[in-house]
């Protein structure tokens, strides 16, 4: 691959890694600020439940961006067994977190049908 293309892709992956890490931090901060506000108005139990969901959403967004950066880096820049292992680990973590978040928010696994609503 031509050197300018490799440099551009390297810059892109570094930028995405920074954005992904920023999304993780920002998601935590926003969720915590909202939790502090809601604890007074909604009560501790309901506010904490929403806090956990907000943290999970921020975590998933950040991981999505980091996985995208890792995919680009692994495929285009450094195709090594270590990089492939890191990519597989990140995808596995992201999948498990996604499933557990859906379970927490809806009370069922992603592959389970929603219960029929009563009319």
Q: Tens-digit pLDDT profile for the chain (119 aa)? A: 788 888 898 899 999 999 999 999 999 999 999 999 998 888 888 888 889 888 888 888 888 898 888 888 888 877 888 888 888 888 888 788 878 877 877 777 778 877 766 54
User: How many CA atoms lie within 13 Å of 15's alpha carbon, on the beta-carbon side?
Assistant: 6
Backbone angles phi, psi at 78, to 5 degrees: -130, 90
User: How far is the first Cα of the chain from the last one, in angstroms, to the nearest whole number?
Assistant: 61
pTM: 0.73
């Amino acid at each position: 691959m031509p050197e300018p293309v490799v440099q551009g892709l390297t810059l892109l992956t570094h930028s995405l890694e920074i954005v992904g890490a920023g999304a993780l931090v920002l998601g935590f901060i926003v969720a915590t600020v909202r939790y502090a506000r809601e604890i007074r108005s909604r009560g501790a139990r309901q506010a904490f439940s929403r806090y956990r969901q907000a943290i999970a959403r921020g975590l998933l967004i950040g991981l999505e961006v980091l996985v995208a950066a890792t995919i680009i880096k692994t495929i285009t820049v450094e195709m090594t067994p270590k990089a492939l292992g890191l990519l597989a680990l990140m995808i596995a973590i992201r999948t498990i977190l996604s499933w557990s978040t859906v379970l927490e928010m809806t009370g069922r696994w992603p592959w389970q049908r929603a219960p029929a609503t009563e009319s």
